[in-house]
Amino acid sequence: MANDWSNRVKITGPADVIHEIRRRLNSPGADGDAPTIFSLKKIVPETKSVKESIKDPDNFWPKYLRKYENAPSASQPFWYIWRYAKWGTKWDTYDSHEEAYEPGGREWIVWFDTANGCPDEALKVLARTFPTITIRHWYSDLPNMVGGYNTYKYDSDTKQVVFEHLSKNENMRWIRRVQDRMIGF
């Protein structure tokens, strides 16, 4: 699919918390969704308005927003704008698989794809929800040569998620690694 973003997420923390995150994010698939082991819908559930906008594409925006003159443009469906704002990407994850997990272990590594962006907003929520974990996230969009690495860690003093990025050279090394994985080297 065009604009597939490859994502590798490594979550480290206390064993019981890692087990709980893994259990919560697993989704067998429902309402036409494919099964995934790392569901963004489990991190930030879609609202009733989002679900309604998916069912009725001619009714893009919830009634309470349409009454305002400066309401968002109807050129994009409401669900689309909401998902980018809350997840950072267009759809839930797909083509997911575990790279590493051991029961009782202190880390979980998972690969998955997303469409048209990386799920940075959802990962910030996950870090805030489970403040004892650290999330390391590698992502790439190979056709457009975009990629990078972020770390998410909740800071209990500031009550915010600390967000760190890689340098441009480190990002290029990551993109090359994903290319090798995709090509099969």
For residue 184, is pLDDT > 50? Answer: no
What is the spatial distance between Cα 20 and Cα 176, in angstroms, rounded to a whole number? 33
One-letter identity of residue 117:
G
Q: Above 70 in pLDDT, residue 167?
A: no
29, 36 Cβ separation under 8 angstroms: yes
List pLDDT tens digits, range 79-115. Answer: 888 899 999 998 899 999 999 999 899 999 999 999 8
Task: Average the pLDDT over 143-159 and give the result.
Answer: 81
**Total-model pTM:** 0.80
Segments of the chain assigned to CATH 3.30.70.1270: 4-44+89-183
Q: Cα torsion at 124, 138, 51, 31 (round to 10°)? A: -130
Q: Is the pLDDT of residue 65 over 70?
A: no
Reduced to 3 states (helix: H, G, I; strand: E, B; else coil), residue 118 is coil
Residue 165, pLDDT above cutoff 50: yes
Helix (H) or strand (E) holding 174: helix 168-183
Q: Compute the residue count for the chain.
A: 185
**pLDDT for res 80:** 82
Q: How far is CA 9 from CA 65, 109, 121, 153, in A?
A: 35, 6, 14, 13
* Predicted pLDDT of residue 134: 95
Q: Domain spanning 4-44+89-183: which superfamily?
A: Api92-like domains (3.30.70.1270)
Confidence of residue 45 (pLDDT cuts 50, 70, 90): very high
**What is the pLDDT of the chain when averaged over all its residues?**
81
